[in-house]
Amino acid sequence: MTDHLSRFSVTLSDGTDMTPQLQRFAEIIGLDRIAPERYSLLLLLGLYGAKESGKQNPFKIIQEIKALEDPQIASNLKPATQFKHPPLKGLWHKHYLQDGIASMALNLRKGMDRYKLPWVEQRIAEAKAANEKRFFSMEDAAHIARDAVSDNWKRLTRDSVLTGEWLIYARYQNANYYLCLGKHQNDDAELRRQIDAICLHEFPFLSQILDQTAN
């Protein structure tokens, strides 16, 4: 485990020392290689918990870290943005694609809001241009479904606007420091408490970023 994490140990309620297992996990997913000395124990615990729960592929999050570290690596999700309001003001977040039906449904709804149904709109425009009354058939249902699902997903991917949950990080001296995971429904104050409790001890410069933007 990187030096800044070696000051911490993680022990289960039964006394089991999880530190070596977390160290091995960090090596397997590539955190030490991608962002050496620049990721928090809080992030590592979040990634490990996601993997253990079976509800989130941690490599999807690692892919977004790679994209932040290397401009040559493309991301299909929304660009990173800075939090504008306390208590997270001054920090940044990058979306990662959450596993599961809920995330897919959220993006499909976004696709409908953003792109509508181009195939259907084209058929309607053609009927109006021909001054004809036309009806959709059962055969058209497959085209409509494809337009709403796979084609809109491709459009979201093409425009790099897929949405997801948050990878929260700080920018300091031209480098990114990866702090934790967050969700839209999380209490920002609770996220800040976790950052204060763990990340501030690992990266003391965070106090400058958070104190300067507290108001």
Do 178 and 208 have their domain in common?
yes
Do 73 and 176 have their domain in common?
yes
Q: Domain range for residue 126?
A: 101-158
Question: Which segment of 36-45, 140-149, 206-215 scores lowest on mean pLDDT?
Answer: 206-215
pLDDT at position 5 is 63
Question: Quick check: 18 pLDDT over 80?
Answer: yes
> Mean per-residue pLDDT for 148-167?
85
Do 22 and 53 have their domain in common?
yes
pLDDT at position 1 is 47
Do 94 and 181 have their domain in common?
yes
Total domains in the fold of the chain? 2
Closest-CA residue to 46 (of 189, 186, 160, 210): 186
> Mean per-residue pLDDT for 57-73?
96
Q: Where are the beta strands (DSSP E) in the chain?
A: 81-82, 92-96, 165-172, 175-182
Would you give the distance in Å from CA 118 to the centre of its chain? 28
Do 91 and 196 have their domain in common?
yes
H-only helix segments in 82-151: 101-115, 118-129, 138-146
Question: Quick check: 40 pLDDT over 90?
Answer: yes
pLDDT at position 42 is 95
Q: pLDDT confidence of 58, banded at 50, 70, 90?
A: very high
pLDDT at position 212 is 62
Give the pLDDT confidence of 129-143 residue by residue, as tens digits.
999 898 888 888 988
Question: Quick check: 36 pLDDT over 80?
Answer: yes
Residue 110: how many CA atoms within 13 Å on its side-chain side? 19
The model's pTM is 0.80
pLDDT at position 7 is 64
